[in-house]
Amino acid sequence: MELSLTLQQHLERCTILHPCLCPRQVLGIRAARFACHYLDIDPFIQRKQLFVYMEMGRCFADAAIVVTGASPTNQLMHLMDYGKVAATFVNLQTGQAVRVQEHPASRQTAIRMMPGDITAWQAQLHAYQIMPDSALLSWEEVALLSSIPTIPEKHNIACDVCHDRIHEHREVILQGKTLCRPCAYGIYYTAP
C-alpha cells in the first residue's frame, strides 16, 4: 500500500515542528512510514488507527507524530522514555504490533554512502532519506505484555466551585462536590 503523503511531504511537514531537519527526524519519519506499510494503515485516510509506544522523545517522536497523527495529547502515543531510537506501532483494529528501531550499523552505512567531504551528521541526514529500509531500520513483530491504555470518550462537566468546564475525565469528587483540580488541590501559577 502506498501512503497518501510522500516521504518528501512528511519531511516538509516535520519542519513545522523543527526549523532544521535532522537525522533523527528522518529516522522517525522513515520508521513510522515503514510501520504504516507493515501494518497496512494510511494514517492520512485511516485516522486514529495506530497506537505508538515511543521509546524516546524529541526529534524522533515529533517525526513519528507527523506521519501517524498519534501523539501524547490525543492519547494515541505513550512515551516510554527508554532513550532508544525505537518505537512500537500497534494497529488498533487488529492488535498487530511491530517494533521498529534504528539499524545498529545505519550511521556507519550512511557515512560510507556519502562523499567524504561532508560531516557525519550531513551524511546521515542525506543517506537516511535514500537508504533501503533494511540498511536503515531493524524491525520485529511483537506481542504486547499489557493492553493498550483505554482512550476515554469525550466528556466535560462544570466545577461546582469556579464553574469552569473540566474535560477528559479530570474532575475530582470531594465531599460530594465535583471540582476541577485547581479548586481541589490548588493552582500552579499566581497572578502578578
Domain 7-142: assigned CATH number: 3.30.1330.130
Give pLDDT, residue 21. Answer: 86
Strands 156-158 and 165-167: antiparallel
Query: Using an 8 Å Cβ cutoff, are 66 and 14 in contact?
Result: yes
Domain 156-185: assigned CATH number: 3.30.60
Copy the grid coordinates of residue 146. 499489557
* Annotated domain spans of the chain: 7-142, 156-185
Phi, psi of 137 (to 5 degrees): -125, 155
Beta-strand (E) ranges in 55-175? 77-79, 86-91, 97-102, 137-142, 156-158, 165-167, 172-174
Please list the pLDDT of the chain residue by residue as tens digits (192 residues).
Answer: 788 888 888 888 888 877 888 999 999 999 999 999 999 999 888 888 899 999 998 899 999 999 999 999 888 999 998 999 999 999 999 999 999 999 999 999 999 998 888 999 999 999 999 999 999 999 999 999 988 877 667 788 999 999 999 987 888 999 999 999 999 998 888 878
Instruction: Give the rounded percent of residues in the chain with a pLDDT score beyond 70.
Output: 99
Give pLDDT, residue 139. Answer: 97
